[in-house]
């Protein structure tokens, strides 16, 4: 459907911590089935945008829409908060977040980690969730690790378990916050492969990443942030192949050389 509403739409987003404004008016759209990557140096606001989209952080100004439905707010400025807790829960469960540090529960097995939220938050039948969870663990390549605990897995395996956990919520979109930056290069590739497979399936994703090769390979649209603003954006071939802004050229030359 050409008129289908984007899964995530952010309009004129502003976010401050006290007097420090970190996001200064940003517009981002993630249409259904698209992969949008956010790149930029540390402190440019990438992760903050993701956390605002998922309502883990409150923004002070601007609109956030999920499938065309705007988040309702009460208060203004630094006192602005979402007005409807049910709406927040619904949006959060549809925008599954994969964090840099995996955030797995140490006292639960990998299978229990993946099953926990669909059973307790969504109230889905346990047997149905277990079948789905095993399928997703198989999908990310660790189907044989169902009964082990997170501490027994490598970082790459833990991150793949975290991706399976996100998938088991059957979300409308996946949000990745630096999914490979805590991993050494060899383990990083395991996770990149999974993300590439998900992109090939046409899943809607927003990815904050320092991995320029992954951003180039999986994205439909890349956004370069600088000091809380979008400095440049476009398709990966154009953005990486012929950057227009001097800042982006400098950023790419320093990251590609690293």
> Where are the chain's structural domains?
14-20+51-257
Residue 184 token pair: 């050494």
86 CB-contact burial (10 Å; exposed 0-12 / middle 13-18 / buried 19+): exposed
Give the per-residue pLDDT at 192: 93
Which pLDDT score, from 0 to 100, does residue 102 have?
87
Q: What does pLDDT average to in each consecutive run of 10 residues of the chain (258 residues)?
A: 82 94 96 96 93 95 96 94 95 93 94 96 95 97 97 95 96 95 88 93 95 94 97 96 95 80
Q: What pLDDT, on the 0 to 100 scale, is given for residue 145?
A: 97
Q: Residue 1 has what pLDDT?
A: 46
Q: So what's the pLDDT on residue 257? A: 61
Contact at 8 Å (CB) between 223 and 23? no
Give me the architecture of the 14-20+51-257 domain, per CATH. 3-Layer(aba) Sandwich (3.40)
pLDDT of amino acid 79: 93
Give residues with Cβ within 8 angstroms of 20, minimum separation 6. none
Buried b (16+ CB within 10 A) or exposed e, 222-248: bbbbbebebbbbbebeebbeebeeebb
Number of alpha helices (DSSP H) and beta strands (DSSP E) in the chain: 9, 12
Say what the pLDDT of residue 181 is. 87
* Geometric angle at alpha carbon 142, from 160 and 50, rounded to 5°: 15
């Amino acid at each position: 459907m050409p008129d289908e509403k984007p899964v995530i739409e952010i309009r004129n987003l502003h976010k401050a911590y006290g007097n420090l404004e970190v996001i200064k008016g940003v517009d981002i759209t993630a249409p259904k089935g698209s992969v949008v990557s956010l790149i930029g140096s540390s402190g440019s606001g990438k992760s903050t945008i993701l956390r605002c989209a998922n309502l883990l952080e409150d923004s002070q100004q601007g609109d956030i829409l999920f499938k065309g439905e705007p988040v309702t707010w009460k208060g203004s400025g630094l006192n602005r908060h979402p007005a409807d807790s049910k709406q927040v829960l619904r949006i959060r469960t549809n925008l599954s977040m994969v964090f840099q540090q995996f955030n797995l529960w140490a006292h639960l097995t990998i299978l229990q980690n993946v099953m926990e939220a669909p059973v307790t938050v969504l109230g889905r039948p346990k047997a149905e969730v277990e079948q789905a969870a095993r399928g997703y663990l198989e999908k990310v390549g660790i189907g044989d690790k169902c009964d082990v605990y997170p501490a027994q897995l490598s970082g790459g395996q833990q991150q793949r378990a975290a991706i399976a956990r996100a998938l088991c919520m059957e979300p409308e979109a996946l949000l990745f916050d630096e999914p490979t930056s805590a991993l050494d290069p060899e383990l990083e590739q395991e996770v990149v492969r999974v993300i590439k497979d998900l992109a090939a399936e046409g899943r809607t994703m927003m990815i904050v990443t320092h991995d320029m090769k992954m951003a180039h390979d999986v994205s439909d649209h890349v956004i370069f942030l600088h000091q809380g603003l979008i400095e440049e954006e476009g398709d990966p071939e154009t953005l990486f192949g012929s950057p227009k802004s001097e800042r982006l050229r400098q950023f790419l030359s320093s990251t590609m050389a690293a």
